[in-house]
Amino acid sequence: MDSVLDITRADGIVVLAIDNPPVNALGHAVRHALHDALDAADADAGVRGVVIACRGRTFFAGADIREFDRAPVAPTLTELIARIETMQKPVAAAMHGTVLGGGLELALACHIRVLAADAVVGLPEIKLGLIPGGGGTVRLPRLIGAAPALVMIASGEPVPASDAQQQGIVHALAFEAIEGETIDYLRSHLRSLPTRARDLPPPVLDAAFEARVVALTRKAGNPAVARACEAVRNAATLAFDAALLTERAIFEDLRAGPSSRAQRHLFFAERQTASVGDLDLRKIARRPVRRVGIVGAGTLGSGIALAFVNAGFDVTVREVSETALAAGLSRIGAVYDSALRKGTLSRIEAEARLARVAGTTTLADLASCDLVVEAAFEDLAIKQAIFAELDRILRPGAILATNTSYLDIDVLAAATSRPQDVAGMHFFSPAHVMKLVEVVRGAETAPDVLATLYSLGRAMAKVPVVVGVCHGFVGNRMLGARNAQIPRLLLEGALPHDIDEAHRRFGWPMGPLQMWDMAGLDIAWRNRKFLGQHEAIADSLCEQGRFGQKTGSGYYRYEPGSREPLADGEVTRLIEQQSRAAGVTRRSISHDEILERTHLPMVNEGWRILDENVVSRAADIDVVWANGYGFPRWLGGPMHWAEQQGWGQAIAGLNRWQQTLGDARFAPAAGLIAAATGSAK
């Protein structure tokens, strides 16, 4: 019995079962134990076949990412996979759980692959800025074809067991005991083994493949996507072993590059968010939460309800009137109707989820809830009244959370007699889709409340980040610093499409003005009027009824039924008119200038947030922006991106624009200066 390997034998079949919790990563100890056991089995005349299996919750869920920046130690994963492929005895993979990355690549080299019916398989390396490096781009196309393999590799998304069998990735599904059923399948095929992937003909590069390549490489993005296309093409045009060598060369090239380093930075940063100061939220006992109340069933409130329902919680939604409640419940139902039409949810499951949703117009009906998330209108007095009433009706120990985007959590907590039970849970719209949730820690928020909300975020398949109290928290505060520069850029000479194109070329999925059009310009207009603020260009658009996509015009115009933004001469004339009124001489503004003037204040504000201890580390800011605001993951988040450019370069740019514009928001933050001079704590 090896420390990570359990070997059993029965009637000529050897089972090599790895036990390396939590996810049976293919680290050196695992590879070494397996390699030696395979050698022994191959040399044993009494062995007729080998089954590779794993104990615990999953088959190999990939390589050990911690080894990526270390010198390789034999046997490497590629050497282990090659050893499987050269076995004189047939090898079967008994797979369950999440069979990902190197785990699937190892299985692809086996003669037989049996997969538990509730398992998934996938090659997620693209999400780390890599391609599969253990033969995945070579063997998978031979099994299922070039185009389907490219879809799987370039998306990095897992494939459910039924699809994996239908496509030909696995030979059989196991519905009960994965090891036993794999042994039985191997025994029944000892005389007629399936053809190994290496011995199958190379894939055909058909029109479907070429169309997929064009679609994947059309826009700027993760550099690994283009290299994945190249690797799959090599699988079709090169000899098998040559394709393996070129795949490995591409993998190593990407591994050493900035894009993969950035995405690996985010990978570890997301797993570090549970450490908050001296707290490890994973080790703190959590409060039991079974029923969740949502105050407010608008777009955001109904999305929050969906997020909890989809995670298995019972939810009661409260609205102020029957009309508003009906509209909110209708929004929830419409999401499930859409899922039914698309075939992404069965009718039985949709009905089961809807059965977990209740509605009410009476706040007292939330009295039995373990957690209530307030998602009412962003008005302090309204929220204070809600919190005071919730404090009165909820049981001791129930958690009161607010979804406020900007308001002071501590002021809301002061409206209750239990500030230790109050925190923020800031979702992003649509809340059932967006991955980020900012868990806001008030001055008196109890550690077990933080741990509970953090755990709930994980249960909803979200990325929770604990932040402190400040206006806008992390994401919106930094977003405000960026957005404040856009009106001035428009006045000085940039047009909406200039600003948006600069952002798209940088890697953003869409530019800020297109985003504003999509969200609706009237929302910010109402807020400005409420606060007594004025924004010349934006206000003029709204005064003309140009509220964005929903009215067919905003910063852009939109054809009926289309969301494609089209440049509008009327907007150009309006902007030029506002420039003349402000006495500004318009000039040509480059994309580089646009990006400097929008991104440097954002990074600078991030440093101010760090200086105020709103977050535990700069990486938390990167996690917020990559998961909630569309910052390109292959750049690692705004703080990582700026660090790679050089903190000194950021300071030089900030100083230059502060002198040019006279804008104090460009004054370098103290922490940034310290980082640039090497004196940071």
E-strand stretches of 218-284: 275-276, 279-280
> Cα–Cα distance between 300 and 137 in angstroms, integer?
41
Catalytic residue among 67, 79, 125, 179: 125
What whole-number distance in Å separates Cα of residue 218 and Cα of residue 229?
12
Contact 496, 502 (CB under 8 A): no
- Helix (H) or strand (E) holding 120, with range, is strand 120-122
Write b or e for each residue in 613-646: b if 16 or more Cβ atoms lie within 10 A of its Cβ, otherwise e. Answer: ebbbebbbbbbbbbbbbebbbbbbbbbbbbbeee
* Nearest Cα to Cα of residue 371 among 345, 341, 402, 346: 402
Q: Are the C-beta atoms of residues 42 and 36 closer than 8 Å to each other?
A: no
Q: Which of 105, 179, 247, 374 is catalytic?
A: 105
Q: Catalytic: 105?
A: yes
First-last CA distance in the chain? 47
Does residue 444 carry a catalytic annotation? no
Burial class (CB in 10 A: 0-12, 13-18, 19+), 217: middle
The answer to whether the CB of 182 falls within 8 A of the CB of 94 is yes
Q: Find out whether 63 and 101 touch, Cβ atoms under 8 Å.
A: yes
Distance, CA of 217 to CA of 225 (rounded, Å) = 7
Query: Using CA atoms in the order 475, 476, 479, 481, what is the torsion angle rounded to 10 degrees?
Result: -110
Of 261, 364, 369, which Cα lies nearest the Cα of 308? Answer: 369
- CA 72 from chain center: how many Å? 29
386, 294 contact by CB (below 8 A): no
Cis check for the bond before 75: say yes or no (omega within 30 of 0).
yes
Q: Which two tokens stand for residue 483?
A: 């957005």
Residue 671's contacts (CB-CB under 8 Å, 6 or more residues apart) are 607, 608, 610, 611, 680
Secondary structure (H, E, C), 346-376: CHHHHHHHHHCEEEECCHHHHCCCCEEEECC
Active site residue ranges? 105, 125
